[in-house]
Amino acid sequence: MTSTRQDGDTWDLASGVGTTATAAAAARAIATREGPSLFADPFAEPLVRAVGVDLLTRLASGELPPGDLVEQVAIDVAKVRGKFYDDFFLDAGSTQVVILASGLDSRAYRLLWPAGTVLYELDQPQVVAFKTRTMAELGAEPTADRRVAAVDLRDDWPAALRDAGFDPARPTAWSAEGLLGYLPPEAQDSLLDTVTDLSAPGSRVATESRPNPKPGDEARTKESLNGVSERWRARGFDPAMAKQRYFGERNEAAPYLAARGWTLHGTTVRDLLAAVGLPAPEDDGMRLGDLLYVSGTLDESQVPSSRVGRECLGRF
């Protein structure tokens, strides 16, 4: 199966790439029910319900058990991933925050941000408009000065960010969660370059760095994604998961950022899960266990550096 992605394609939360945001929120809703002491997102379930995809609503609400529709490892990863980004922002203490590809992320409404925080959310126009409207209907109030920019992250998004009030002279905490695989390789590089260009010294970043595939990995990944898509299709909703991603070689995000002056520390999904007593993923070709969650700081000097936290990453 090949990607059906095209330059300039667009979506809402029930179609195309948008379904990945709704599926991620459904996983957070299930994760919240299973282990609220580790990670809790009380807005995930009502947001998924508002999107109106019946299968995802039933999974998010608990009416339908995850069974073979949402693998336990996906639920466990939602817990550690959610906690990783929550901890990143809480530790960063920055008062200028940019959440790239915000999807149904509710951090602008549920984290305790430092006084005076301005938080920018960037995603496709229908995605940001939907969340703004739905959260207002739910009676939720942002816990920071939340501003949105409706953009295509493959295009000139910095202009929209600046128009919304972003100040590149102030240190920023950036996240790009669950985004990079949905960008073409050159757009990923360009996005990471732009994040670096817009970052004052002392800025922070958090994202994922996926190891490049070994021969045969991608075929197995597609098979795995197609298996999930088929099971969902049998329940009335086809997310065509393998068609939403861009496959093939690309620059790995961690070394790419390190070469641009970021000092990073990373932890594999396997280690994040083990640290809270959850089992490692099986190797199904997606090499999920090897996926790195990375965070770090732009050096004061911005001198390109390969000082990635080797003791943590162990791969560079």
103 binds ligand SAM per the rule CB under 6 A: yes
Pick from 17, 119, 149, 258: which binds ligand SAM (CB under 6 A)? 17
152 binds ligand SAM per the rule CB under 6 A: yes
Pick from 59, 98, 153, 253: which binds ligand SAM (CB under 6 A)? 153
191-194's contacts with Cβ under 8 Å and 24+ in sequence apart are 191/100, 191/153, 192/253, 192/256, 192/257, 192/260, 193/260, 194/157, 194/158
121 binds ligand SAM per the rule CB under 6 A: no
Residue number with CB closer to ligand SAM (132 or 263): 132
Strands 292-298 and 204-209 turn out to be antiparallel
User: CA 27, CA 19: separation in Å to the nearest integer?
Assistant: 12
Kindly state the smallest distance separating residue 92's Cβ from ligand SAM, in Å. Answer: 17
Q: Is 193 in a helix, a strand, or coil? A: helix
State the residue number with the nearest CB to ligand SAM: 103
Q: Is 53 in a helix, a strand, or coil? A: coil
Here the tokens at position 25 are: 């929120």
The CB density around residue 118, as the number of other CB atoms within 10 Å, is 20
Residue number with CB closer to ligand SAM (86 or 299): 86
Q: Residue 178's closest CA among 158, 207, 153, 135? A: 207
Q: Please identify, among the stretches 110-118, 146-154, 209-217, 301-309, the one whose residues bind ligand SAM according to the rule CB under 6 A.
A: 146-154
Q: What 8-state DSSP symbol labels residue 289?
A: G
Residue number with CB closer to ligand SAM (29 or 179): 179
Kindly state the smallest distance separating residue 123's Cβ from ligand SAM, in Å. Answer: 5
Using CB under 6 A, count the residues that bind ligand SAM: 23
Tell me, what amino acid is at 222? K
Kindly state the smallest distance separating residue 115's Cβ from ligand SAM, in Å. Answer: 25
182 binds ligand SAM per the rule CB under 6 A: yes
Residue ranges in 42-101 that form contacts with ligand SAM under rule CB under 6 A: 101
18 binds ligand SAM per the rule CB under 6 A: yes
Q: Is 205 in a helix, a strand, or coil? A: strand
Pick from 179, 192, 264, 294: which binds ligand SAM (CB under 6 A)? 179
20 binds ligand SAM per the rule CB under 6 A: yes
Are 83 and 65 spatial neighbours (Cβ–Cβ below 8 Å)? no
Are 308 and 316 spatial neighbours (Cβ–Cβ below 8 Å)? yes
Query: Under the rule (CB under 6 A), what is the footprint of ligand SAM?
Result: 17-18, 20-21, 24-25, 101-105, 123-124, 127, 151-154, 177-179, 182-183
